């Protein structure tokens, strides 16, 4: 490796030399010492001081490992392996697939140019090499490579951060073990689907036991589903905010859905930017009274199934965070053993098929009825499989769906209950 310590000019031939390239490494493959010295001088004028040499193709391949060049200058007639064959060999190696390779040749014919580019050459320099052209082309390809490397490193860092953020978001929802324990202890079957349209999204759901009031024996079960406006990083951050606020609420607040939503709304309105909000549903299952007490904030209408079929519950209300003084209403409905509660975000109701037709709440209600009739033992997997057949697995919006059934003789059914029926709908994550 030859090192030059001379001062590098800021411009040459009227060209602004741009970003410093003193740390870039160039490997010249040419059997002429005169050409090596000439090209080295041009590279120095271009601001490049780290230059190495190879006199033939065999030496070039050996030096690739030690030099790790950022650019190659290769003579097309290099012995004993010509530059075109060398280019094919290098492009077959994944490590050098995007390495800039500038071919030099005195035979500047259309046929040779076609062969060089077909072999994978990045550019072609005619001999005798013009210094201004050489400097401009070398700098262009090195600067482009530098930008590509920076973009690749940035993308890898973002993807790594998003994977970590996705893991954190998945930790917001109950894991299989805790969900199984909660369901078994309270005579419930709970089957969830939770999927972000991007790496991360703005949906989340959770369930928890609420300590019974003094004088009562049985605890109650809270079910909270939220859909933050938009999707992606901003929505995920807001989902974390809402989850944090929810975990800080007191048992007395959790027993009263309208009161809980009012508290969350007030706090979110103080921290969310204008135009950002959350649609939410919060219900409290009281097994002793066989009731569901709930309040909603602009969520899709849940469906409550009993022996008479499914009926729509009213989930109207102002979204959380939109208006600081919003009030919410408690609604109570029977929820007896054998009854089913179906909750979802608008990722289901606003899904569009290949004809751009939206499912809608009426279409979803019909699909739920069909699932209960066609697959009474496993309605939820059947429902989601039919949804995937019509709308595909590439989601336009984050999706949350919960199938909750009261059954005193039934234990827990966690995510694995969806199992193979959901495999076609939810692609495996990294």
**Which residues have a Cβ under 8 Å from the Cβ of 245 and sit 6 or more positions away?**
264, 267, 268
Mean pLDDT of 153-180: 86
pLDDT of residue 268: 94
pLDDT band of 117, cuts 50, 70, 90: very high
Domains and CATH numbers, the chain: 11-161 (3.40.50.2300), 171-423 (3.60.40.10)
Q: Is 203 exposed, middle or buried (0-12, 13-18, 19+ CB in 10 A)?
A: buried
Mean pLDDT of 92-119: 91
Cα–Cα distances in angstroms (integers) from residue 263 to residues 143, 216, 221, 268, 276, in the given order: 54, 25, 19, 9, 17
pLDDT of residue 6: 44
pLDDT of residue 17: 55
Residue-wise pLDDT for 323-367, tens only, equals 988 999 999 999 999 999 999 999 899 999 889 999 999 999 999
pLDDT of residue 408: 55
Name the more confident of 263 and 415: 263
Outline where DSSP puts E strands in 30-177. Answer: 50-54, 71-75, 101-105, 123-126
Rounded CA separation 113/70 (Å): 22
Which of 379, 395, 373 lies closest to 191, judged by CA? 379
pLDDT of residue 19: 76
pLDDT of residue 18: 66
Integer-rounded Cα radius of gyration of the chain? 33
The answer to whether residue 90 scores a pLDDT higher than 60 is yes
Residue-wise pLDDT for 381-407, tens only, equals 999 999 999 998 777 778 899 999 998
Can you read off the two tokens belonging to residue 54?
């190879």
Please say whether the beta carbons of 324 and 274 come within 8 A.
Answer: no
Can you read off the two tokens belonging to residue 111?
């046929």
Phi-psi region of 68 (alpha: psi -120 to 50; beta: other; left: phi over 0): left
pLDDT of residue 29: 95
The answer to whether residue 231 scores a pLDDT higher than 80 is no
Please say whether the beta carbons of 341 and 335 come within 8 A.
Answer: yes
Please say whether the beta carbons of 360 and 295 come within 8 A.
Answer: no
């Amino acid at each position: 490796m030859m090192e030059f310590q001379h001062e590098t000019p800021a411009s040459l031939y009227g060209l602004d030399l741009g970003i410093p390239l003193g740390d870039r490494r160039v490997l010249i493959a040419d059997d002429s010492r005169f050409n090596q010295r000439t090209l080295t001088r041009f590279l120095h004028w271009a601001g490049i001081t780290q230059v190495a040499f190879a006199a033939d193709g065999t030496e070039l391949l050996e030096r690739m490992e030690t030099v790790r060049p950022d650019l190659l200058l290769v003579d097309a007639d290099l012995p004993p392996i010509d530059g075109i064959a060398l280019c094919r060999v290098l492009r077959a190696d994944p490590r050098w697939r995007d390495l800039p390779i500038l071919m030099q040749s005195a035979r500047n014919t259309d046929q040779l140019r076609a062969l060089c580019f077909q072999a994978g050459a990045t550019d072609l320099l005619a001999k005798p090499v013009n210094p201004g052209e050489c400097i401009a082309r070398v700098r262009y390809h090195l600067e482009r490579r530098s930008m590509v490397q920076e973009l690749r490193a940035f993308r890898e860092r973002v993807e790594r951060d998003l994977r970590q953020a996705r893991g954190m978001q998945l930790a917001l929802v109950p894991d299989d073990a805790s969900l199984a324990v909660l369901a078994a202890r309270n005579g419930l079957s709970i089957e969830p689907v939770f999927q972000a349209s991007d790496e991360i999204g703005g949906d989340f759901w959770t369930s928890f036991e609420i300590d019974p009031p003094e004088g009562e024996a049985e605890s109650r079960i809270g079910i909270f589903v939220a859909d933050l406006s938009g999707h992606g990083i901003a929505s995920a951050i807001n989902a974390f905010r809402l989850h944090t606020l929810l975990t800080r609420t007191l048992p007395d607040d959790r027993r009263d859905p309208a009161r809980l939503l009012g508290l969350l709304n007030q706090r979110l309105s103080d921290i969310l930017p204008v135009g950002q909000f959350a649609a939410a549903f919060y219900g409290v299952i009281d097994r002793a009274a066989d009731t569901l007490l709930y309040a909603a904030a602009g969520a899709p209408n849940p469906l409550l199934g009993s022996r008479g079929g499914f009926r729509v519950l009213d989930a109207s209300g102002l979204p959380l965070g939109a208006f600081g003084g919003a009030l919410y209403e408690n609604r109570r409905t029977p929820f007896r053993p054998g009854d089913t509660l179906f909750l979802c975000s608008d990722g289901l109701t606003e899904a569009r098929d290949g004809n751009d037709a939206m499912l809608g709440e009426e279409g979803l209600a019909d699909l739920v009825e069909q699932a209960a009739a066609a697959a009474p033992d496993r309605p939820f997997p059947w429902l989601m499989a039919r949804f995937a057949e019509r709308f595909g697995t590439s989601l336009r919006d984050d999706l949350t769906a919960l199938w909750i059934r009261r059954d005193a003789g039934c234990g827990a059914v966690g995510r694995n209950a969806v199992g193979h029926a959901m495999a076609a709908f939810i692609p495996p994550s990294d």
